[in-house]
Amino acid sequence: VNDYLYKHVNPNLKLVNTKAECKYDDILHHTQLTQVREMKKMLNFTPKGIMNGSFAPEECNPAMSVAILVTYRNRQSQLDVFIPYIHTFLRKQNIHYKIYVIEQQDDKPWNKGLLYNIGAKQAIAEKFPCLILHDVDLLPLDHSNLYVCLNQPRHMSASIDKFRFVLIYNTLVGGVLAITSEHYKLLNGFSNRFLGWGGEDDDFASRISANKLDILRFPQHMARYTMLRHQQEPENSARYAIMLDGRRRAASDGLGSVAFASVGVRPQRLYTLITVRV
Ligand code: BGN
């Protein structure tokens, strides 16, 4: 992994040159499960060092700036767990990061691809070179699972307790995915046409392979997550049909063609909220 790590810092981030470069070896070798300990710490979580959902290490200059994009609707109790947990986890990773929660604020069918595209546009405008697309119900368990982009897209949640810690199929990219902003633009982001649950991630995977990119994964013991329980959005029964002409649509349907009724950006202490009406 260290071979893949390269300088990828947001030019807006002021680096103090007298500081040493951050090191990542210790983090990569720290493969213990964290959940119980982190859960305890969450009880006395303090937002120290966090502003607008953004944090940078104090002691060293980070090698990576990462935008965490969390698509969301109507799951306040999960957000209440996710946000302190992920900050507690990420503050120890020696990276500069910013959390965006992209909330669909209407009763229309769930459009996760569109929400990711809107979040990506904002993060790219703020000069983040790396995007991590993150389900709100997944909590990382291993400190070694570094929240950074490599030189190919990386599926980070290969090992989820709900699926007995087994990767359910090889092209799965749903859950948590790290991809550079450059690659996201190259793929034209997500399709905006998947309404309801399912398929938008598989369509994104076919964009990855159509552009001759790989899907990397860390070893399973570094990629473990626990999933919070919840009710799923209604399934999209049209998803198989939409996927069939995915390759033909990729150029005209994606990041370059997001349509919405309104978008608002509202910075809060622990995350920057992007509200969307489709
Ligand atoms: C798959 C879904 C994904 C989802 C994973 C994991 C579809 C399309 C079928 C051709 N894909 O079955 O969207 O992330 O399960 O839950 O439904």
Is 241 close to ligand 1, i.e. is its CB under 6 Å away?
no
Residue in 201, 203, 215 to alter for ligand 1 test, most ligand atoms within 8 A of Cβ: 201
- pLDDT of 26 reads 84
Expressed in angstroms and rounded, the spacing between residue 95 Cα and the centre of ligand 1 is 31
Give CA–CA dist 162/230, Å, rounded. Answer: 12
In this prediction the pTM is 0.95
Which structure tokens are listed for 174? 């749903």
What is the 235 CA–ligand 1 centroid distance (Å)?
Answer: 10
- Is 175 close to ligand 1, i.e. is its CB under 6 Å away? no
33: number of Cβ within 10 Å: 13
Q: Which residues contact 26 (CB under 8 A, 6 or more apart)?
A: none
Spell out a b/e string for 135-171, using b for 16 or more CB atoms within 10 Å of the CB, else e.
bbbbbbbbbbbbbbbbeebbbbbbbbeeeebeeeeee
- What is the distance in A from the centroid of ligand 1 to the CA of 203? 10
CA distances from 28 to 54, 126, 160, 174 (A): 22, 28, 19, 23
Ligand 1 pocket check for 174: Cβ under 6 Å:
yes
* Predicted local distance difference test score (pLDDT) of residue 27: 86
Q: What is the largest CA-CA distance in the chain?
A: 57
Looking from the CA of residue 239, the nearest atom of ligand 1 is 8
Reading the chain (278 residues) residue by residue, the pLDDT tens digits are 666 666 789 999 999 989 999 988 888 887 666 666 666 666 778 999 999 999 999 999 999 999 999 999 999 999 999 999 999 999 999 999 999 999 999 999 999 999 999 999 999 999 999 999 999 999 999 999 999 999 999 999 999 999 999 999 999 999 999 999 999 999 999 999 999 999 999 999 999 999 999 999 999 999 999 999 888 899 999 999 999 998 899 999 999 999 999 999 999 999 999 999 99
If one residue of 202, 227, 243 were mutated to test the ligand 1 pocket, choosing by the most ligand atoms within 8 A of its CB, it would be 202
Tens digit of each residue's pLDDT (9 = 90 or more) over 55-110: 999 999 999 999 999 999 999 999 999 999 999 999 999 999 999 999 999 999 99
